[in-house]
């Protein structure tokens, strides 16, 4: 796959999901919460393209609305992990040694903690909700963002222009703003895209386990769980929410890969 | 080596303290929750004394830690069961599940990753890469549901879930009920591992020693077998080590999909009934397991690749 194609496919998938979320605010084929017991578990038809669930709700409408919870989790978790991760990453690389070592150690520990397990603990403490999930996922992801940021910042700090800036009297804050941030922007963008994919996957997993988005708000993960018992009636049901998750996650992953390749000139020659 | 060991011990202490704190900073009182309307002041007092809940937090933590080190995670305040005992019993399902899954994942990932590398820029190589990209994006529970649909609903080859009541005493049934869950977990992991196997193989192919081996008359496959596998295994094993936490989380999900009564199921149930003491024990042991495995993997890597030995 050439880099442009990766970027294009990724971007189209992401745009498609965003389109669904925006569409859900204006129009859905049916009311996603309207129950209709006579129409319980009908297969795809001209009236209900994706079929109806156990309560006769239109699956297509639920999926369109479900994109909101998914994208919101992704975006909020990315904001949390980028703000914490980048601040910690930069702070630890300019901080004195005695702050740096414990901080690196702390990052290593959070990195090793299983994200979803951490989210499960939080959900058990504060009760399951989209926000708890977002918070847990965001914190857990911030460790890897901090690590990558550190790695990048340390390289930038050694550059001659930073030394020149320091020699000409620039303060640490100004160096961070004028020299460090612009230089690591590209890699942060790639990080954000990858983190978004992980966050969305984690949210759908938590919702599937009943620890994420709570009913009645439709969520792709929970739809999977509630439709799974009806596989025998029609195996096509769980296909839809699954496909929606795959398209969105694949989109953000490919977008990240594509961005990395197009923003990092050294990767262009050795295509790995 | 000593530094790595010190890091391991410190990680264990810090992570267990973190889990302890998170669960103890809760609003509400476990003793009150357990006794409910029977919570006379005397009864509450007695229960708190029994479970050391009347001591200060650091004392409680040290008590718990000294027990945990000796393999005693205490009793569940809610149900009174022995947590260590429960955890060990449930692990007899979860550990084999993780073991099988890692084994399957390597069997899937290494050959396919090598194929993708050898067929770099050819249709089947590209196809394998695409499959691996897809594999990373597919949620584990969806893979599980699809496998159930194909192998349990459409063709009744394997059970769609559950574990024999007699456990491992009914060996054939136990194995057959683990095959689909382990494959589910392996497919998700394999897709990640495959990417690393592929790029490691591409690295090997570009090395001088590989060209020399080819020049002595070995075919690409032969040269790869002699020189490639070991080199390609290094990143695969190290990624598998980093992925061990993903693998455990995956096991929780897979147990939920296939209704397997393992550690994951137990944890989810405990979360639902808010049995904090048990959640604490389970999570602490699971994280400890993650840290210990990644420590062991580092050691194994040293054996596979002598160059990294000094760095550890």
The answer, yes or no, to whether residue B283 has pLDDT greater than 60, is yes
What percentage of chain A's residues is helix, strand, coil (to nearest 5)?
Answer: 75, 0, 25
User: What is the mean predicted confidence (pLDDT) over A224-249?
Assistant: 82
Task: Assign A78 a pLDDT band (cuts: 50, 70, 90).
Answer: very high
Q: Note whether residue B75 is domain-resident.
A: no
Q: Are residues B59 and B183 in the same domain?
A: no
Q: Are residues B162 and B290 in the same domain?
A: yes
Q: What is the pLDDT of residue A272?
A: 42
Q: Which of A179, A85, A172, A224 is nearest to B142 (CA)?
A: A224
Q: Which of B63, B97, B113, B90 is nearest to B268 (CA)?
A: B90
Q: Are residues B143 and B62 in the same domain?
A: no
Q: Note whether residue B82 is domain-resident.
A: no
Q: Would the CB atoms of B290 and A112 count as touching at under 8 Å? A: yes
Rg (CA), chain B: 24
Q: Are A83 and A37 in contact (CB under 8 A)?
A: no
Q: In terms of CA atoms, which chain B residue is nearest residue A235?
A: B149
For residue B212, what are the domain limits?
Answer: 90-310
Task: Read off the pLDDT of residues B288-310 as tens digits, 9 standing for 90 and up.
Answer: 888 888 788 777 777 766 665 54
What is the least distance, in Å, from the CA of B257 to any CA of chain A? 8
Q: Are residues B24 and B104 in the same domain?
A: no
Taking the Cβ of residue B295 and every Cβ of chain A, the question of whether any pair is shorter than 8 Å is answered with no
Q: Are residues B18 and B160 in the same domain?
A: no
Q: How far is CA A25 from CA A50, A129, B213, B251, in A?
A: 20, 21, 62, 37
Domains present along chain A, CATH in parentheses: 63-266 (1.10.3720.10)
Q: What is the pLDDT of residue A210?
A: 83
Q: Are residues B145 and B233 in the same domain?
A: yes
User: What is the mean predicted confidence (pLDDT) over B208-236?
Assistant: 79
Q: What is the pLDDT of residue B11?
A: 82
Task: Read off the pLDDT of residues A183-213 as tens digits, 9 standing for 90 and up.
Answer: 888 888 888 988 899 889 888 888 888 887 7
Q: Are residues B104 and B57 in the same domain?
A: no
Give the whole-angstrom CA distance, residue A210 versus residue A172.
46
The answer, yes or no, to whether residue A242 has pLDDT greater than 80, is yes
Please name the residues between 43 and 102 in chain B that touch chain A, using a CB distance below 8 Å: none
Task: Read off the pLDDT of residues B3-36 as tens digits, 9 standing for 90 and up.
Answer: 778 878 888 888 888 888 877 766 556 666 667 6
Q: In terms of CA atoms, which chain A residue is nearest residue B246?
A: A114
Give the whole-angstrom CA distance, residue B250 versus residue B140.
7
Q: Are residues B153 and B248 in the same domain?
A: yes
Q: What is the pLDDT of residue B30?
A: 66
CB atoms under 10 Å from CB of B111, counted, come to: 13
Q: For the domain that residue B130 is a member of, what is the CATH number?
A: 1.10.3720.10
Task: Assign A77 a pLDDT band (cuts: 50, 70, 90).
Answer: very high
Least confident of A39-43, B42-46, B55-59, B221-225: A39-43
Q: In terms of CA atoms, which chain A residue is nearest residue B290?
A: A112
The answer, yes or no, to whether residue A166 has pLDDT greater than 90, is no
Q: What is the pLDDT of residue B312?
A: 40
Q: Are residues B123 and B266 in the same domain?
A: yes
Instruction: For helices A115-126 and A130-157, give the axis angle rounded to 10 degrees.
Output: 140
Domain count, chain B: 2
Q: Are B248 and B230 in contact (CB under 8 A)?
A: no
Q: What is the pLDDT of residue A83?
A: 94
Vertex B182: Cα angle to B72 and B253 (nearest 5)? 65
Q: Would the CB atoms of A125 and B23 count as touching at under 8 Å? A: yes
Contacts of A125 in chain B (CB under 8 A): 22-23, 25-26
Cis before A216 (ω within 30): yes
Q: Note whether residue B256 is domain-resident.
A: yes
Q: Is the dihedral of CA B298, B303, B305, B307 positive or negative?
A: positive
Q: Are residues B103 and B58 in the same domain?
A: no
Task: Read off the pLDDT of residues B74-129 as tens digits, 9 standing for 90 and up.
Answer: 787 777 788 888 888 888 888 999 989 988 988 888 888 888 877 767 777 777 77
Taking the Cβ of residue B294 and every Cβ of chain A, the question of whether any pair is shorter than 8 Å is answered with yes
Residue A34 burial (C-beta neighbours within 10 Å; 0-12, 13-18, 19+): exposed
Q: How far is CA B246 from CA A118, B40, B189, in A?
A: 12, 45, 8
Residue A33 burial (C-beta neighbours within 10 Å; 0-12, 13-18, 19+): middle
The answer, yes or no, to whether residue B222 has pLDDT greater than 90, is no
Q: Note whether residue B79 is domain-resident.
A: no
Q: What is the pLDDT of residue A265?
A: 61
Bigger pLDDT: B182 or B123?
A: B182
Q: Note whether residue B76 is domain-resident.
A: no
Highest mean pLDDT among A126-135, A138-147, A205-214: A138-147
Give the helix/strand (H/E) hosting A205. helix A181-208
Q: Would the CB atoms of B133 and A250 count as touching at under 8 Å? A: yes
Q: Are residues B101 and B174 in the same domain?
A: yes
Q: Note whether residue B7 is domain-resident.
A: yes
Q: Note whether residue B277 is domain-resident.
A: yes
Q: Note whether residue B80 is domain-resident.
A: no
Task: Assign A270 a pLDDT band (cuts: 50, 70, 90).
Answer: very low
Q: Are residues B170 and B37 in the same domain?
A: no
Bigger pLDDT: B7 or A150?
A: A150
Contacts of A109 in chain B (CB under 8 A): 11, 14-15, 18
The answer, yes or no, to whether residue B219 has pLDDT greater than 90, is no
What is the least distance, in Å, from the CA of B87 to any CA of chain A? 16
User: What is the mean predicted confidence (pLDDT) over B148-167?
Assistant: 80
Chain mean pLDDT for chain B: 80
- Select from B17, B39, B69 the last residue of a domain: B69
Residues above pLDDT 70, as percent of chain B: 90
Q: What is the pLDDT of residue A1?
A: 47
Taking the Cβ of residue B16 and every Cβ of chain A, the question of whether any pair is shorter than 8 Å is answered with no
Give the whole-angstrom CA distance, residue A212 versus residue A133.
6
Q: Would the CB atoms of A112 and B141 count as touching at under 8 Å? A: no
């Amino acid at each position: 796959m050439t880099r442009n194609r990766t970027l294009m496919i990724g971007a189209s998938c992401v745009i498609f999901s965003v389109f669904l979320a925006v569409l859900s605010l204006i129009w859905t084929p049916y009311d996603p919460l309207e129950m209709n017991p006579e129409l319980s578990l009908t297969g795809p038809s001209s009236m209900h393209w994706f079929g109806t669930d156990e309560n006769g709700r239109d699956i297509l409408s639920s999926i369109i609305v479900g994109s909101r919870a998914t994208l919101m989790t992704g975006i909020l978790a990315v904001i949390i992990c980028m703000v914490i991760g980048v601040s910690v990453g930069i702070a630890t690389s300019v901080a004195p040694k005695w702050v740096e070592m414990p901080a690196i150690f702390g990052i290593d520990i959070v990195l090793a903690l299983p994200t979803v397990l951490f989210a499960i603990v939080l959900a058990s403490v504060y009760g399951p909700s989209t926000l708890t999930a977002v918070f847990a996922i965001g914190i857990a992801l911030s460790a890897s963002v901090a690590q990558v940021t550190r790695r990048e910042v340390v390289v930038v700090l050694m550059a001659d222009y930073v030394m020149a800036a320091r020699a000409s009297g620039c303060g640490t804050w100004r160096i961070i703003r004028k020299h460090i941030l612009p230089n690591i922007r590209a890699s942060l963008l790639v990080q954000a895209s990858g983190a978004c994919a992980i966050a969305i996957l984690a949210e759908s997993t938590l919702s599937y386990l009943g620890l994420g988005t709570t009913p009645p708000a439709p969520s792709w993960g929970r739809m999977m769980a509630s439709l799974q018992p009806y596989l025998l009636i029609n195996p096509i049901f769980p296909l839809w929410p699954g496909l929606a998750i795959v398209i969105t996650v694949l989109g953000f992953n490919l977008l990240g890969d594509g961005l990395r390749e197009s923003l990092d000139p050294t990767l262009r020659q050795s295509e790995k | 080596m000593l530094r790595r060991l010190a890091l391991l011990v410190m990680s264990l202490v810090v992570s267990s303290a973190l889990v302890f704190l998170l669960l103890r900073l809760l609003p509400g009182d476990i003793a009150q929750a357990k006794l409910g309307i029977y919570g006379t002041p005397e009864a509450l007092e007695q229960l708190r004394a029994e479970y050391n809940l009347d001591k200060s937090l650091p004392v409680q933590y040290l008590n718990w830690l000294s027990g945990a080190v000796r393999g005693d995670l205490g009793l569940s305040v809610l149900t009174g069961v022995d947590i260590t005992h429960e955890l060990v019993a449930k692990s007899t399902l979860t550990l084999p599940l993780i073991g099988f899954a890692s084994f399957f994942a390597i069997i899937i990932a290494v050959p396919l990753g090598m194929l993708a590398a050898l067929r770099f820029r050819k249709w089947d190589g590209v196809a394998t890469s695409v499959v691996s990209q897809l594999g990373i994006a597919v949620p584990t529970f969806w893979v599980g549901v699809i496998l159930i649909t194909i192998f349990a609903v459409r063709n009744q080859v394997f059970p769609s879930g559950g574990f024999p009541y007699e456990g491992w005493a009914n060996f054939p049934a136990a194995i057959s009920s683990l095959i689909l869950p382990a494959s589910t977990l392996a497919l998700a992991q394999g897709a990640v591992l495959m990417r690393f196997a592929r790029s490691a193989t591409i690295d090997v192919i570009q090395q001088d020693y590989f060209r020399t081996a080819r020049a002595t008359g070995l075919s690409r496959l032969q040269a790869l077998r002699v020189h490639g596998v070991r080199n390609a295994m290094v990143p695969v094993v190290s990624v598998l080590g980093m992925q061990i936490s993903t693998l455990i989380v995956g096991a929780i999900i897979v147990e939920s999909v296939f209704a397997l009564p393992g550690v994951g199921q137990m944890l989810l149930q405990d979360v639902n009934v808010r049995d904090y003491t048990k959640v604490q024990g389970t999570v602490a042991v699971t994280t400890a397991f993650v840290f210990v495995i990644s420590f062991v993997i580092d050691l194994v890597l040293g054996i596979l690749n002598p160059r990294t030995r000094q760095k550890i």
